[in-house]
């Protein structure tokens, strides 16, 4: 049975909601996807009231309790609570609420388990196959190899990858300027295999796919336009599916694999944070679980009472 449609809020409340989402996009620099997510999370809350001033802690708690009763998981409830807190803080700051009830709202912590990732051997098999496919020189295969190489080498998000322009790449320094979440810019580096794939793409594949009206995008689709993230996801899923025993994963899985493998190799946590573009170190600390086995080996080798 399809989920019931959430009714639109009262006109006055709806006008406030639209002003809030404009604030998210224009002032906070949130992506269109993030803005839609906020609006979707807040609609069931705001459709309960006729005036924003009616929001209080009891209403927020009932809203989350109803979500829990309806089967919403911990992560969903935590995300909704975060959206509500952001909204009530803004409403208080702009004079629409006398106090900020969201500041007192407690929500369940989402579970932070990471998805299964490719191990180093599976990653090697993935690239062996991609390199072999690109060797024939077919433009899409050359591009697909670059997609895989850059996602794994830099840990960038698929939207960040598809948003790159040719001028964002500094081949001499093997560095890429990336525009991440919230408009935050960072620089990431890549290694020799990605550099080789990049040069092959720029020398041949991109020139063949480019059209007179093509944008300055680094990655192009079959018709010469900027590569759609959906196509990049399909490329990764198809490549991973060809690796025997590998977990089903997409671009975000390669991002997880990059961070996991670097942490296992002894990379500094702050560097991995910068590589991934995490605003908070706590987000990057999810990857520290992979170092436990390495720590055990070091402990057994170095500690006198191991």
Instruction: Give the active site residues.
Output: 157, 181, 252, 255, 278, 287
Per the CB < 8 A criterion, the answer to whether 235 and 148 are in contact is yes
Q: How far is CA 209 from the centre of its chain?
A: 28
Residues in the chain: 306
- Token pair 């997409």 is found at 250
Cα–Cα distance between 273 and 28 in angstroms, integer?
21
Dihedral sign, Cα of residue 242, residue 246, residue 250, residue 255: negative
Nearest CA to 207 out of 130, 134, 129, 137 is that of 137
**Helix (H), strand (E) counts: the chain:** 14, 3
CB neighbours of 78 closer than 8 A, spacing ≥ 6? 107, 108, 109, 110
Q: Which residues pair with 165 in a beta bridge?
A: 217
CA 243, 248, 252, 255 dihedral sign is negative
Distance (Å, rounded) from C-alpha 277 to C-alpha 178?
9
Strand runs labelled E in 155-303:
169-170, 175-179, 185-189
């Amino acid at each position: 049975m399809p989920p019931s449609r959430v009714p639109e809020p009262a006109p006055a409340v709806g006008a406030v909601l639209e002003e809030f989402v404009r604030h998210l996009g224009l002032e906070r620099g949130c992506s269109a996807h993030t803005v839609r997510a906020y609006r979707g999370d807040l609609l069931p809350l705001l459709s309960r009231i006729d005036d924003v001033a009616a929001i209080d802690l009891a209403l927020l708690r009932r809203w989350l309790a109803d979500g829990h009763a309806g089967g919403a998981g911990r992560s969903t409830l935590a995300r909704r609570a975060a959206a509500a807190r952001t909204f009530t803080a803004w409403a208080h700051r702009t004079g629409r609420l006398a106090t900020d009830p969201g500041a007192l709202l407690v929500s369940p912590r989402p579970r932070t388990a990471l998805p299964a990732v490719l191990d180093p051997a599976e990653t090697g098999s993935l690239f062996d196959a991609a390199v072999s496919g690109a060797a024939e020189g077919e433009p899409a295969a050359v591009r697909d190899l670059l997609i895989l190489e850059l996602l794994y080498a830099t840990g960038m998000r698929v939207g960040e990858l598809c948003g790159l322009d040719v001028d964002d790449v500094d081949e001499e320094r093997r560095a890429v300027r990336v525009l991440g979440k919230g408009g935050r810019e960072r620089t990431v580096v890549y290694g020799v295999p990605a550099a080789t794939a990049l040069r092959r793409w720029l020398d041949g594949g991109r020139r063949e796919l480019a059209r007179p009206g093509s944008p300055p995008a680094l990655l192009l689709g079959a018709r010469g336009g900027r590569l759609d993230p959906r196509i990049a996801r399909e490329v990764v899923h198809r490549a991973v599916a060809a690796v025997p025993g590998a977990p089903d994963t997409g671009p975000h899985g390669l991002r997880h694999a990059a961070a996991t493998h670097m942490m296992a190799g002894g990379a500094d946590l702050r560097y991995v944070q910068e590589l991934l573009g995490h605003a908070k170190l706590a987000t990057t600390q999810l990857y520290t679980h992979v170092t436990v086995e390495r720590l055990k080996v070091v402990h057994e080798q170095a500690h006198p009472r191991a």
